[in-house]
Amino acid sequence: MQTLLSTRIFGGLSLNDQVLRRVRDRGLVRLELDVKGAHVDLRSVAEVRMLRRRLETHGLVARWIRLDEGFLRRLGQDMELAELTAAVVAAGAEAVVLPLPRDWEGPGV
């Protein structure tokens, strides 16, 4: 089993070097990167790569990327699927977490 620390616990705080050192010092090396906050703009592959390098400098990896529940509705408007895929690859993520909106309609998924 792998333990992931979600960056949601930091809210809108920056993932600065001090925060990243503290996470690593506590033995947590795998992150769920919550992009709802101000941690990274997935529309910028260069920004995603820079964050990945910063994480790697501290011995951390973002294995999961968590999108906000409204992302599914905006896909195709704010960002195309190809752009999202490029950002996920640039981050080195293994999974994308996409919670369904509360008002999702239809039987099952």
For residue 40, what is the domain's CATH number?
A: 3.20.20.150
| Gap between the Cα atoms of 28 and 104, Å rounded | 34
Whether pLDDT at 98 is above 70: yes
Q: Which domain holds residue 62?
A: 5-97
Residue 102 lies in a domain: no
Number of domains in the chain: 1
Residue 109 lies in a domain: no
Distance of CA 56 to the CA centre of its chain: 15
Residue 107 lies in a domain: no
Whether pLDDT at 87 is above 70: yes
Residue 108 lies in a domain: no
Q: Are 8 and 66 in contact (CB under 8 A)?
A: yes
Residue 89 lies in a domain: yes
Model confidence band, residue 94 (pLDDT cutoffs 50, 70, 90): very high
Residue 36 lies in a domain: yes
pLDDT in tens, 9-61: 887 778 889 989 998 999 889 999 888 756 788 888 999 999 999 999 999 99
The pTM for the full model equals: 0.80
What pLDDT sits at residue 1? 65
